[in-house]
Structure 1
Amino acid sequence: MDARSRGLTRRTLLMSGAAAAGAAALSACGARLASPSDTGGPPEGHLNLLTPIFPGADGKALFERQLLPQFTARYPAVSVSVDYTTYNYLNQKITTGLTTGIPADVIMLGVGWVEPFASRQVLSELTVPPSALTGYSERVLAPCRWGGKLFALPVVLDTRFGIARRDILAQAGFDRPPASIDELRDYAIALTQRGSNGALTRTGLDVQSIDPRQMFETVLFAFGGDLFRAGRPAFNDATGVAALQWVADLQLKDRVIDAGFSNPNSTTLPLADGRAAMSIGHNNAWITTSKQRPEVLGQLQPFLLDPAKPSVFAGGTLVTVSAASRHQSAAQALAAFIASPQVSLLGAAQRGNVPALTELETTPYVRDHPLVRFGLDNLKYGRSEGGIPAWLSLREEILNTVQSVTTGRQGAQQALDQLATVADAAIADFGTS
């Protein structure tokens, strides 16, 4: 019997999410978190930066030897210590800082994370002149706001959309990618190949090489659906059910792909090695393919899942300032520096991400990487996760729901209705915790 069937209390449901620990920490130490020592004046003091990007030795060298010295040269009274982490541990790191009362001064976090922390007064409003925001589309800035105020700036972005292999499509007689969500399914069925023993040798549409939650959300947005509306679940309406059923049918009815054919942690990309004709993929597939099968790079063609309802999933990394920082002027300056064009571009290039600023679309990095360029060109159609303060406690629940339906354990309507009940409880409990 799963957690939903056992009828767990609202409090238990919320506390199962890591974000709840952060909320509890805020309740315990809110007074300490609201007393920065300076709110103006010249930037000075020692800052701690928490970041999930610039990973590994190469990333550290790029940031600390090439980029950060430019900041400290401009602000010689400021010094910076960097805490490198991964997204798997980022929320834990933030929560630990809240619990101890000494969070990082500047925090880089994910799209969808502003609402949980800004609603609990963890973040400082950014003092950014309007002219500094003209390089972003409003769709990109929307996840940076809470209550009409700006709490974060985009640094690098992750987009997800359709990617086709031109050569494999041509072999099957298709001279272009699919032009609608229905045609995408038809193509996927036609392009799937199995051996004489029934074993899958090529999937027509790989939906397993990215996170299942984000894959479903990419499809949901292409169907014209929403995760939430006016702070309440919307994913279980008729559009959301149709989107999740469409994904499940690919595996259970159409047999386009088998369970376990690929996964987000796979070291090989089916699209690169020819085991997939198309995929719902990430813009860094270009970087991955260049390392695995560079000879097929010219065959990768991005496309919108449904041009009639144009959308791309737009996630990414944002930079924020802790409300507890004792050096607000310095922290605000460092946040602005990290969001600057140079840092955004080099940070994106290291990981195959999309730089956040439209002014970077003419740079060689963007120009020479068609999937990155497609992501940047279509940010105006970007749709994001989150939107509610309880978001961090629901991400894993959405993933589990998608997996339950795509493996046939539950029907789409039943599973999404149960998820909506969980979401309503988490939303209500977050508001009273």
Structure 2
Amino acid sequence: MTRPRLAFAASAVAAGLFASAACSGPAGTGGAGELTVWVMGDSSARFQQLVEPFSARTGIEVDTVAIPWDSVDQKFTTAVASGNGPDVLQVGLSKVPAFAASGALLTLDDRTLRDHPGLAAHHFLDGVAAAGGAPVSVPWVGDTRVLFYRSDILAAYGLTRPPGTWDELRAYAKVLAGRGVGQYGYHIPQWDSALPVIMTWAQGGGIVDDTGRIDFDTPEFHKAVDIYTGLYADRSVPADADFDQIQGFVSGATPMLVSGPYLAGAVAAAAPRLNGTWSVALIPGAAAHTSLLAGSNLAVWRSSDNTDGALRLLDYLSEPRTQLTWYRLDGQLPVTKVALDDPALTSDPLVSMYVRQLRDARPLPPVPNWDGETGKVLLDALNSIVLTGADRDTALRGLYAATGGTSVE
């Protein structure tokens, strides 16, 4: 799977940031060895460009290796078994608990980081540094979900502002679905296990009980299920699992959806003519507007023979100037407080909304295997109700039985 990157990198980030990054921070000593870095997806060439100033400043050569997103687990498992891993690796936030449990990553406690004050948690957005539940990584880039909406289509039906709650979104979607055959009001990706959790947060609830175990059997989750299944019952969302959300948004067939900021770049690239006809808003919510906190961290391989160089690289990558340069190069949102407050980000209305949402976001519960276990069972239950007509109560009882008692690490 190729993870889409943000294509809206702000022109306000001056090109001089990249050059000046070579002069930022404390000077290092030359000839300090080499580092192998695993980065996920298709950004290896841009990452190599990003670290050129670091190599020039420290004498540490960096070899960047791209790992396809769908090969991450296998690559990591093989490396753990062989003991032959990289010096530094990018870790998706949802993978941190499982990777930490392997014992292959260096513990980044206060003692380890005492000579690297730039990696202290207080430099990062509140909640980001603690995401993942284990001190084996530091934040690298952030991601979240917002509501995308076609303001032109909504306005044509008298809907002059984005929906503020999920109940209101459902009402909007029903109106918009009445436009005719093949027209809907909203799109639910059937692979998105985070969406029903976000809906639960919006009701003021959660899916972890006071003992630190997964618990879906709550009034707030039941309300989220009402919304999720109700959108299908209203015929306000397409039932086709292969429905293309980008094309649906561009064509107007699905003029509302929740997605990450990368969708903005995809829409801009696919249909620049639509500029000014769509916008983004905070996640709808009755009790809260909390969204998903996602993104990636950076970790150091425990048996690296250049731990010092690896930590110095993490220092460099956490510098606000470097984070802004990476935003310009790859469109990934920074996670340091200073970078997030930079006018290069806040002056762009879309990005300003992403940053605002990022400040009210939380990660999925750090269970060992969300995608393959808890999240999959959640989607299987909901999709069986809306797509195959399974009995709601029976499906939910199965969900509770399969996930209840799962411990959050």
Does the alignment reach a TM-score above 0.5? yes
Task: Indicate the residue corresponding to 2:275 in structure 1.
Answer: 297
Unaligned ranges ≥5, structure 2: 1-28
How far residue 172 of structure 1 moved from its aligned partner, in angstroms, is 0.7
Query: In the superposition, relative to structure 1, how do residues 237 and 217 fare at CA in structure 2: closer, same or farther (>3 Å)?
Result: same
Deviations 1:268-322 (A, max 9, x none): 4322222222112221221111111223232323222116312111211111112
Contact 2:31 2:58 in 1 (8 A): yes
Question: What residue is the counterpart of 2:223 in the other structure?
Answer: 242
Q: 2:198 is aligned with what amino acid? A: T
CA distance in 1, matches of 2:231, 2:405: 32
2:87 counterpart of 1:105: yes
**Corresponding residue SS for 1:316:** strand
2:151 match: 166
What is the CA distance between 1:118 and its match in structure 2?
2.2
Gap change, CA 1:412 and 1:141, over 3 Å in 2: farther
| Residues 1:71 and 2:54 aligned together | yes
Q: Does 2:88 align with 1:82? A: no
SS at match of 1:302: strand
Determine the C-alpha separation between the residues in 2 that align with 1:412 and 1:95: 38
Whether contact under 8 Å (1:159, 1:283) holds in the other structure is: yes
Does the 8 A contact of 1:152 with 1:318 survive in 2? yes
Query: Residue 250 of structure 2 corresponds to which residue in structure 1?
Result: 272
Q: Does 1:142 align with 2:123?
A: no
Counterpart of 1:316 (choices 295, 305, 312) is 295
Query: Is the aligned partner of 1:380 residue 2:355?
Result: no
What residue identity is the alignment partner of 1:60?
S
Q: For residue 108 of structure 1, report the CA deviation from its aligned partner.
A: 0.6
**Displacement of 1:143:** 0.8
Partner of 2:315 in structure 1? Answer: 336
Deviation at 1:386, TM superposition (A): 3.3
- Counterpart of 1:207 in structure 2 is 188
Does the aligned pair in 2 maintain the 1:178–1:187 contact within 8 Å? yes
Q: 2:385 aligns with which of 405, 412, 416?
A: 405
User: 1:386 is paired with a residue of what secondary structure?
Assistant: coil
CA distance in structure 2 between the partners assigned to 1:272 and 1:310 by the alignment: 26
Unmatched 5+ stretches in structure 1: 1-40
Contact kept? 1:160, 1:281, Cα under 8 Å? yes
What is the number of residues matched between the two proteins? 372
The CA RMSD measured in Å over matched residues stands at 3.0
Query: Quick check: 1:92 aligned with 2:67?
Result: no
Aligned-residue offset at 1:373: 2.3
Map of 1:5-24 to 2, 5 A cutoff?
A: none
| Structure 1 residue 407, shift from structure 2 partner | 1.4
Q: Which residue of the partner structure matches residue 44 of structure 2?
A: 60
Q: Does 1:285 align with 2:269?
A: no
TM-score when scaled to structure 1?
A: 0.76
Q: Which has the higher helix share?
A: 1
8 Å contact kept, 1:139–1:381 = no
Distance 2:96 2:393 in 1: 30
Counterparts of 1:100 and 1:49, CA distance in 2: 17
- Specify the alignment match of 1:155 in structure 2: 140
Q: Tell me, in whole angstroms, the C-alpha distance in 2 between the residues paired with 1:416 and 1:44.
A: 57
Q: Which has the higher strand share?
A: 1
Q: Give the TM-score of the pair, scaled to structure 2.
A: 0.80
Structure-2 change in CA distance of 1:189 and 1:155 (3 Å): same
Q: Equivalent residue of 1:244, what SS?
A: helix
Alignment partner of 1:418 is 2:401: no
- Give per-residue Cα distances to partners, 1:235-274, cap 9 Å, x unaligned: 33232232133212211x11101211754xx384322222
> Quick check: 1:286–1:369 contact (8 Å CA) kept in 2?
no
In structure 2, how many angstroms separate the alpha carbons of the residues matched to 1:131 and 1:156?
14
